[in-house]
């Protein structure tokens, strides 16, 4: 007959293995949180009907909004990559805060009206396809494009910047790689061997030479400041960071300091 201690160890081991298996096979549900366009948004979005675009990539329709103004060195196109639970049409409420810049907001696969299912390779492939398609169709050279990525979108923006020469890159609550972030939340599990979507920005950042600014929330509990600052240090070109006090992961864009940092970076980038 098993002792109570042996039975307890067996139970705990079984529970650990079950959770480990769940983390491996269901990890996409822990990483990606696709969002539909909120019902209240549809009335607001009617004014942007002419700005809607849909691009077909490998049989998958990708949907978003392209706000096209004149693009030049002073007013480059900003391509935005959202967070893992972000439906990007929400950013259209802040158009006036971006000034005269052209803006491209495309939803990831499975988000908004975009078809398919999200995954690291799919997001990377789609992002390059969208970049090249918009650049070619609208005759916008890559040197007139700024990439802006928030949270998970920082990894997508970095992947594109590693493949294409862009004017600058603006990162909001970025991280060095998802392995390190996940280890912070699941410290007792072998995350390095489980994660199929590692988003290893730290392997790409040293080779990128364009200017970069990282905006970090001091109270971020999702992505520790250490992970953001590590990425900043690894950047191959000029890099800087701004830490917003009293700002969390999901509230950082609601603070005045967030927009002050963006405006200053865009102004400094325009004169380079």
Print pLDDT tens along the chain (272 aa): 567 777 777 787 888 888 889 888 888 998 999 999 999 999 999 999 999 999 999 999 999 999 998 766 567 999 999 999 999 999 999 999 998 899 999 999 999 999 999 999 999 999 999 999 999 999 999 889 999 999 999 999 999 999 999 999 999 999 999 999 999 999 998 998 889 999 999 999 999 999 999 999 999 999 999 999 999 999 999 999 999 999 999 999 999 999 999 999 999 887 56
Do 109 and 87 meet the contact criterion of CB atoms below 8 Å apart?
no
Task: Convert 19-34 to b/e letters by CB count within 10 Å (16 or more is b).
Answer: ebeebeeebeeebbeb
Taking the C-alpha atoms of residue 23 and residue 17, their distance in angstroms, rounded to an integer, is 10
* Maximum Cα interatomic distance, the chain, rounded to a whole number of Å: 79
| Nearby residues of 147 by Cβ (< 8 Å), 6 or more positions away | 78, 79, 81, 157, 160, 161, 166, 168, 169, 170
Q: Chain centroid to CA 269: how far?
A: 21
| Domains in the chain, CATH or no CATH each | 32-270 (3.40.50.1820)
| Model confidence, pTM | 0.93
């Amino acid at each position: 007959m098993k002792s109570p201690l042996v039975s307890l160890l067996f139970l705990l081991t079984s529970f650990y293995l079950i959770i480990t298996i769940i983390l491996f096979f269901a990890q996409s549900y822990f990483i990606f949180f696709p969002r539909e366009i909120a019902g209240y948004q549809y009335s607001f979005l009617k004014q942007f009907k002419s700005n809607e675009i849909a691009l077909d990539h490998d049989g998958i329709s990708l949907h978003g909004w392209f706000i096209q103004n004149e693009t030049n060195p002073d007013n480059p196109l900003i391509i935005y990559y959202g967070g893992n639970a972000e439906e990007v049409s929400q950013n259209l409420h802040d158009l006036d805060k971006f000034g005269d810049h052209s803006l491209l907001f495309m939803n990831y696969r499975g988000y908004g009206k975009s078809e398919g299912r999200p995954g690291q390779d799919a997001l990377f492939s789609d992002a390059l396809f969208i970049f090249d398609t918009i650049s070619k169709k609208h005759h916008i050279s890559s040197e007139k494009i700024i990439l802006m990525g928030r949270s998970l979108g920082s990894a997508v923006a970095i992947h594109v910047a590693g493949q294409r020469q862009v004017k600058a890159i603006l990162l909001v609550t970025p991280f060095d790689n998802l392995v390190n972030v996940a280890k912070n939340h699941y410290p007792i599990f072998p995350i390095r061997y489980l994660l199929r979507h590692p988003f290893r920005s730290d392997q790409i950042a040293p080779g990128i030479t364009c200017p970069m600014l990282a905006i970090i929330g001091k109270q971020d509990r999702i992505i520790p400041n250490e992970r953001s600052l590590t990425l900043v240090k690894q950047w191959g070109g000029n890099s800087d960071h701004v830490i917003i006090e009293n700002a969390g992961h999901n509230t950082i864009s609601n603070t005045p300091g967030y927009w002050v940092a963006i405006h200053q970076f865009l102004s400094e980038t325009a004169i380079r």
